[in-house]
């Protein structure tokens, strides 16, 4: 067997994450990231949609100055897809129409995000996004490679072992339960929804010039809406940021915001929730905060 690299993954000069100016990470999340880096374990992130799960990987890569590799999981994704694919179609076409030496199979091996993070000469941040979209066996199929940080290309019999372990961040929306064996190998963190003070700070990052009274009134409206028990899909952080932008650009007065929720389609994305809000408005002749 030919081995392209047999070096043991090293933890030399492990980086430390502290958040960025654009991504305000709470202390418990910063701790979780750094524990995962120190222990060289994947970090499994859960939380409501819009709480910044995917953007965390971008922030870690940006702050640490490392390349980011993203693997977006779909229902049809297989674990091997992240390692490599063998492009048999290209080889067949070259055999029929090209002048390539098709005996060199290596030229038809295309590494996926996980494979590229192993063969890279530098440390990478690897995002495995929405792992729960795949079938139930997918997480278990990753265990061997994530544990040993190596994989074999069957077509060439080459073994690729990571010289530097990638920082692996995995996100899940809780669509499916993940296997216990997989969970045991991860550092887990649940990103709680931001409270009003945190949301105010986040809003200031995206809209530094928003008027104080407008922002404060919008926050009251937003959290009032999230507390309504009959609203099934609660508005998220990203939707609040978009809403603030709309309020600013259209010049909505604070007085109107105190009585109504303009542009509700930016916050509520289900017809039943919009109808429920309309019912509350008709019943109370206004929306009380």
Domain ranges for the chain: 27-191, 196-284
Beta bridge partners of 69: 126
Min mean pLDDT across 33-47, 144-158, 200-214, 254-268 is at 144-158
DSSP 225-238: HHH-TT-SS---HH
Please answer whether residues 84 and 109 qualify as being in contact, where contact means their C-beta atoms are separated by less than 8 angstroms: yes
Please measure the distance between the N-terminal and C-terminal CA atoms of the chain and give it in whole angstroms. Answer: 69
pLDDT at 7: 43
- Using CB atoms within 10 Å of the CB of residue 243, give its burial: 0 to 12 exposed, 13 to 18 middle, 19+ buried: buried
pLDDT tens sequence across 77-108:
998 999 999 888 887 887 777 667 777 788 88
The torsion defined by the Cα of 224, 230, 233 and 235, in degrees rounded to 10, comes to -10
Backbone φ and ψ for 110, nearest 5 degrees, come out as -115, 115
Domain 27-191 is of which CATH architecture?
Answer: 3-Layer(aba) Sandwich (3.40)
Least confident of 5-9, 144-148, 260-264: 5-9
Structure tokens at 158: 């080459």
For the chain, the average pLDDT equals 88
């Amino acid at each position: 067997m030919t081995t392209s690299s047999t070096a043991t993954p090293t933890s030399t000069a492990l980086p430390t994450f502290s958040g960025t100016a654009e991504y305000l990470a709470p202390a418990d999340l910063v701790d979780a990231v750094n524990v995962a880096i120190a222990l060289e374990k994947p970090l499994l992130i859960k939380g409501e949609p819009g709480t910044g799960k995917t953007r965390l990987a971008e922030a870690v890569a940006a702050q640490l100055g490392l390349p980011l590799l993203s693997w977006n999981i779909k229902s049809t994704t297989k674990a091997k897809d992240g390692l490599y694919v063998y492009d048999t179609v290209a080889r067949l076409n070259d055999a029929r129409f090209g002048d390539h030496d098709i005996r060199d199979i290596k030229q038809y091996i295309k590494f996926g995000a996980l494979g590229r993070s192993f063969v890279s000469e530098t440390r990478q941040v690897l995002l495995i996004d929405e792992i729960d979209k795949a079938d139930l066996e997918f997480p278990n199929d990753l265990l061997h490679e994530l544990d040993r940080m190596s994989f074999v290309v069957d077509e060439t019999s080459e073994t690729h072992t990571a010289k530097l372990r990638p920082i692996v961040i995995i996100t899940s929306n809780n669509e499916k339960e993940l296997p216990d064996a997989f969970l045991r190998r991860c550092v887990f963190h649940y990103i709680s929804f931001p409270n009003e003070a945190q949301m105010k700070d986040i809003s200031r990052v995206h809209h530094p010039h928003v008027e104080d009274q407008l922002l404060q009134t919008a926050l009251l409206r937003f959290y009032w809406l999230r507390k309504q028990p009959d609203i099934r899909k609660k508005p998220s952080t990203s939707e609040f940021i978009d809403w603030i932008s709309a309020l600013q650009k259209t010049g909505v007065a604070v007085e109107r915001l105190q009585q109504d929720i303009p542009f509700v389609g930016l916050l509520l994305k289900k017809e039943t929730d919009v109808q429920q809000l309309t019912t509350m408005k008709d019943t109370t002749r206004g929306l009380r905060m």
